[in-house]
Amino acid sequence: MLLTSIIQGMQFDIVQGDLNKDIKAIAYDSRNVTKDGIFVAISGFQFDGHAFIHNAIKQGASVIISEKAITVDKGITVLKVANSRNALANVSSNFYNNPTENLNLIGITGTNGKTSTTYFVKSIYEEARKSIALIGTLGTVMNNKVVKNKNTTPMSLDLQYFFSEMVTEKIDNCIMEASSHAISLQRVAYSKFNTAIFTNLSPDHLELHKNMEEYFGEKAKLFKMTSDYNIINADDYYGQQLIEMVKNDNPKLITYGIHSKADICATDIHYAFDHTLYTVNTPTGSVRIKVNLPGDIYVLNSLAAIACAYSNGIPLELIQSGINNIKTIQGRFEVIYEKDDFKVIVDFAHTEDALQKTLSIMRPFVKGKIILVFGVYADTSENGTEKRQGMGRVAAEFADFSIVTLDNPKQHNPSIMINETTEAIIRNNGDFEAIPDREKAIQHAIRISKDNDMIVIAGKGHETTQIIGDTEIPFNEKEIILDALAEKVSL
């Protein structure tokens, strides 16, 4: 494709070189550059792509897009831009022929509930015989093929490639998790969204966004990128703010909720440990819904999916079947083992709000104790301290016994992470033990448990690795749990 076509719509200054070049590929990692390619130099959090420009040229780059002044051979075309991430999104969309113009793209954002909602939407669309792909925390799913994503929402170049593959494979719809990082870092820029869904907002990722207002502001941007529908949780405080923000915009506003007045609402709710029954009420009818996951969390997440499907014209009987078809979601209140009243559950709850809701769901069905194993990933800033203290408070108030361990400590000081969490438990009169080694912490929970107890392993959910320092090691919680149970039985 000609460079002039690829840079259509991009604001830039020509530093040097020819725009009439044939381009074969685009890369933002110099190691992936190929002959006659564009290299987009991005100033990252750990590495600055501008430091690898000469490597990219050696690899065959004929065009450099840069935010900074650089000096290279005269044969190389250099385009200077204000924001390389935005430029990457722009050229990527153009290079793949703007694929979202040929998709019904649904974006979902919020602190918690994104993954389960995407799977509810996917199941409903499949029940309605509508082709649909999924992009999110558990990977990119197209025609039953799963590709692991490095991030919840891939980089814009990878994202546009996936979209183009969907178009090639004649997939008409895509449901995608749009993280706050992705919105802030321009990964979803130049994507045409038909529908946006808002689940909820509670403190998380404040190492990037600094405060809740900034965090909310990034999430809200998605709802200014839609053409057809904005679907918002009316029960959420920030959802109400978002409703006020977009209620006069052209995309139709659809609200959902349990406790607040909403277009799509749940009534007559019956709770059980392994499912929830409720009646969903819509402007054109009602139907009984069975969600095979417990608690209001999954009532709300299924309502979001129902609102999306309903607004896109899918009949209620197909919506009903689609929700019921989801029997479990990896790492989301996933029961790994159960025998009578004893259960071991793995859950992705990694925020104060999510952990409190998970433990609250369990409480009415526990005959013994709730034993919680958890760690808190957050940096060592003031916001990170607040998150650890908040989750420590929840552990003290909602679990009977907590084993504080590590999540993905990465580069941060493990002692600080453990100590700040346990200090909060002590302050709130909780009972706990600290075991930094996560595998040993899980094993200890199994060892001390009794027949009527419920154990919840929180924070990592579906993840099968643990990141300590720069090293990512295999870490499968399901295998650790089953091995520990087998060892306990043999004693």
* Sequence ranges of the binding site: 30, 110-116, 151-153, 179, 187
Amino acid occupying residue 358? T
CA distance 451 to 458: 20
Whether residue 295 contacts residue 111, with contact meaning beta carbons closer than 8 Å, is answered with no
At 131, list the tokens. 């082709």
Whether residue 257 contacts residue 237, with contact meaning beta carbons closer than 8 Å, is answered with no
Indicate the angle between helix axes 352-362 and 296-311, nearest 10 degrees.
110
With vertex at residue 222, the alpha carbon angle to CA 179 and CA 172, rounded to the nearest 5 degrees, is 85
Instruction: With CA atoms as reference, report the closest residue to 308 among 226, 248, 238, 235.
Output: 226
Whether residue 138 contacts residue 152, with contact meaning beta carbons closer than 8 Å, is answered with no
At 205, list the tokens. 């990722």
Q: How far is CA 26 from the centre of its chain?
A: 26
CA distance 216 to 156: 22
At 58, list the tokens. 């050696």
Q: How many CB atoms lie within 10 A of CB 482?
A: 15
Q: How many CB atoms lie within 10 A of CB 50?
A: 16
At 224, list the tokens. 């200014």
CA distance 326 to 345: 18
CA atoms within 13 A on the CB side of 330: 11
Dihedrals φ, ψ of 443, to 5°? -60, -40
Element (H, E) at 125: helix 114-127
Indicate the angle between helix axes 114-127 and 316-324, nearest 10 degrees.
120
**For 268, which DSSP code?**
E
**For 43, which DSSP code?**
B
Q: How far is CA 126 from CA 104, 170, 174, 214, 298, in A?
A: 14, 14, 12, 36, 20
Q: Please name the residues in contact with 391: beta carbons below 8 A apart, sequence gap of 6 or more.
A: 351, 352, 355, 374, 376, 421, 424
Q: How many helices (H) and strands (E) does the chain have?
A: 16, 24
Binding residues for ATP, as ranges, are 110-116
Element (H, E) at 80: strand 77-80
Dihedrals φ, ψ of 372, to 5°? -110, 130
